């Protein structure tokens, strides 16, 4: 009897300790989650500012919708017309519709300067960058600039942002360069990027110099994938939606404000650009959309999550550049990536020397209609955006004092990372079950991201060695090593993609009994 009582008492004590531990952990998690979950008070928003911001979304939507209605009539009178080559009848569609988008966001940006006066400089820089990008795109639409000139001009559009942010006073210059520390503009302040696993970086001058390059890469990436009804505007809308989520996770008021300031105009843009398109964006549209996304990421410190969200642009851009061995304008490309059949299906071209694109890789599974192809591109964009949610969660978790490994500042809160992984995995499974043709492409995306994680862990090890061993020279080579490894990884990834494409094309030929390209193809 005494033994049973002792056992019961010990069991009671054990249960009591477990309950206390659970309650303590729950209290800790509640305290921690209250720091992570967003309230508008933490973002510094007042109720009237929130209402006016919502008003800007609605107002910019209706204003931009009105502009598109008038612009389509204007474009037809000016003969700014393009042919929709993915339809049998090749209907005429108004070109350079991005003009209406650029004009449509301007009133909202002006209002934001008054509603949020603390970021009026950033708002001005944001607006100027998007407008300049749109001007370059318009010039390309009308004059057809060479690839080199367009890239050069896109870098130039990023130079004002570089100059406005320029601050060399924080850098420890050698004595013979100490005079550079007096150079400081500081009209806007752009923080060094925070990278998952590494935490806050100290790239200062390198990142300031990289800003125009980021702008050029993203604008050209959006431009390269454009060509299908609703693809560019729809993908950009998905990316902006995820930028809003990233801003909430990271408590980035700038990221949230700028995302909301353009989303109304972008929804109106999508309404006129979706299948069947009433207007094409033109380069003025694709470049201004790319600039909008880039500026939101830069001002909102959302660079890493943004990279995940734009993986479709990264994939397509790398495929095109690698297969064509450089940048080319569309009218100078002699090969083809897709073929439009008599039954208005789009199929992957089967030529050995045809250039590689993301649509061609998707169509290697089977021919699709234009809307179905675009939906698969959107699905890939959503998956990339979901990966960005995990990246942003890891980044924010790395700023909490809960170290997982290493003795460096920062750490990780594994519970939030696990929750985000479970949610993302659930959505990922639902998407690839619906769109099986993109499954292998998502495997490439995951492999690329895992390689990036491995790279960051390696850089972290180098940084720890630098701190522990006192080898200052390591800080000059760690990013160089990362760059070399990244290029090597991209090359392997491209080779695997080409091999996968050729395997799928061979199977498609065998299934249809083909030995060469045909005009008539029935879907499988």
Residue 228 structure tokens: 């299908």
Question: Which pLDDT score is estimated for 209?
Answer: 80
The number of beta carbons lying within 10 Å of the beta carbon of residue 474 is 16
Question: What is the β-pairing status of strands 199-200 and 194-195?
Answer: antiparallel
Question: What proportion of the chain, given as a percentage, has pLDDT over 90?
Answer: 36
Is the pLDDT at 198 greater than 90, yes or no?
Answer: no
Q: What is the pTM of this model?
A: 0.83
Q: What is the mean pLDDT of residues 89-95?
A: 90
Is the pLDDT at 97 greater than 90, yes or no?
Answer: yes
Radius of gyration of the chain (CA): 26
* Chain position carrying tokens 């910019």: 60
Q: What is the mean pLDDT of the chain?
A: 79
Higher pLDDT: 412 or 365? It is: 365
Q: What is the mean pLDDT of residues 490-515?
A: 70
Cβ neighbourhood burial of 131 (10 Å; 0-12, 13-18, 19+): middle
The CA distance from 15 to 18, in Å, is: 5
Going from N- to C-terminal start, the domains of the chain cover: 51-512
> Can you spell out the DSSP letters for 294-361?
HHHHHHHT-HHHHHHHTHHHHHHHHHHHHHHTS---GGG--S-SEEE-TTS-EEE---TTSPP-HHHH
The model's confidence at residue 351, banded by pLDDT at 50, 70 and 90, is confident
Question: Which pLDDT score is estimated for 1?
Answer: 42
The CA distance from 359 to 53, in Å, is: 37
Question: What is the β-pairing status of strands 81-83 and 92-94?
Answer: antiparallel
The model's confidence at residue 293, banded by pLDDT at 50, 70 and 90, is very high
Question: What proportion of the chain, given as a percentage, has pLDDT over 70?
Answer: 72
Q: What is the mean pLDDT of residues 80-103?
A: 91
Is the pLDDT at 76 greater than 90, yes or no?
Answer: yes
Higher pLDDT: 368 or 489? It is: 368
Question: Which pLDDT score is estimated for 184?
Answer: 67
The CA distance from 303 to 301, in Å, is: 6
Q: Give the lowest-confidence range in 161-165, 260-264, 314-318.
A: 161-165
Q: What is the mean pLDDT of residues 329-348?
A: 79
Residue 192 DSSP symbol: P
The model's confidence at residue 251, banded by pLDDT at 50, 70 and 90, is confident
> Can you spell out the DSSP letters for 383-411?
HHHHHHHHHHHHHHHTTSS--SSSSSS--
Q: What is the mean pLDDT of residues 488-509?
A: 73
Residue 137 structure tokens: 């795109």
17-39 in b/e form (b: 16+ CB < 10 A) is eeeeeeeeeeeeeeebeeebeee
Residue 279 DSSP symbol: B
Question: Which pLDDT score is estimated for 114?
Answer: 92
The model's confidence at residue 273, banded by pLDDT at 50, 70 and 90, is very high
């Amino acid at each position: 009897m005494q033994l049973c009582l002792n056992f019961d008492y010990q069991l009671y004590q054990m249960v009591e300790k477990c309950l206390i531990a659970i309650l303590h952990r729950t209290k800790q998690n509640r305290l921690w989650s209250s720091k992570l979950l967003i309230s508008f008070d933490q973002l510094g928003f007042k109720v009237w500012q929130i209402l006016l911001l919502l008003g800007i979304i609605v107002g910019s939507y209706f204003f931009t919708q009105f502009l598109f209605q008038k612009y389509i009539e204007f474009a037809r009178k000016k003969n700014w017309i393009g042919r929709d080559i993915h339809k049998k009848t090749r209907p005429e569609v108004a070109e350079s519709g991005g003009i209406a988008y650029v004009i449509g966001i301007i009133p909202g940006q002006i209002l934001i300067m008054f509603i949020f006066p603390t970021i009026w400089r950033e708002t001005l820089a944001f607006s100027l960058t998007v407008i300049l990008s749109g001007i370059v795109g318009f010039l390309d639409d009308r004059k057809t600039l060479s690839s080199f000139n367009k890239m050069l001009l896109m870098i130039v559009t990023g130079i004002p942002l570089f100059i406005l942010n320029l601050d060399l006073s924080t850098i420890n210059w050698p004595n013979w360069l100490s005079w550079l520390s007096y150079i400081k503009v500081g009209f806007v302040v752009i923080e060094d990027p925070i990278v998952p696993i590494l935490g806050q970086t100290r790239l200062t001058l390198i990142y300031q110099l990289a800003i125009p390059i980021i702008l050029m890469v993203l604008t050209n990436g959006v431009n390269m994938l454009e060509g299908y009804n609703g693809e560019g505007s729809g993908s950009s809308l998905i990316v902006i939606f995820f930028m809003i989520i990233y801003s909430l996770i990271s408590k980035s008021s700038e990221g949230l404000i700028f995302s909301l300031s353009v989303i109304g105009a972008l929804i109106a843009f999508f309404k006129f650009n979706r299948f069947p398109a009433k207007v094409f964006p033109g380069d003025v549209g694709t470049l201004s959309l790319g600039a909008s996304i880039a500026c939101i990421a830069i001002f909102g410190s959302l660079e890493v999550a943004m990279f995940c969200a734009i993986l479709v642009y990264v994939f397509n851009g790398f495929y095109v550049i690698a297969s064509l061995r450089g940048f080319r304008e569309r009218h100078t490309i002699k090969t083809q990536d897709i073929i439009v059949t008599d039954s208005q299906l789009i199929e992957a071209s089967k030529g050995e020397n045809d250039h590689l694109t993301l649509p061609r890789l998707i169509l290697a599974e089977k021919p699709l209609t234009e809307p179905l192809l675009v939906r698969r591109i959107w699905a890939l964009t959503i998956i990339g955006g979901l990966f960005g949610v995990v990246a942003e969660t890891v980044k924010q978790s790395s700023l909490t004092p809960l170290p997982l490994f290493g003795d460096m500042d920062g750490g990780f809160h594994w519970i939030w990372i696990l929750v985000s992984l479970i949610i993302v995995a659930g959505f990922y499974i639902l998407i690839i079950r619906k769109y099986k043709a993109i499954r292998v492409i998502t495997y490439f995306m995951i492999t690329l991201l895992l390689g990036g994680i491995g790279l960051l862990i390696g850089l972290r090890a180098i940084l720890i060695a630098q701190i522990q061993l006192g080898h200052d020279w390591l800080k000059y080579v760690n990013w160089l090593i990362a760059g070399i490894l990244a290029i090597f990884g991209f090359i392997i990834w491209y080779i695997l993609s080409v091999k996968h494409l050729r395997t799928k094309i061979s199977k498609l030929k065998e299934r249809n009994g083909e030995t060469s390209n045909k005009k008539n193809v029935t879907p499988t």
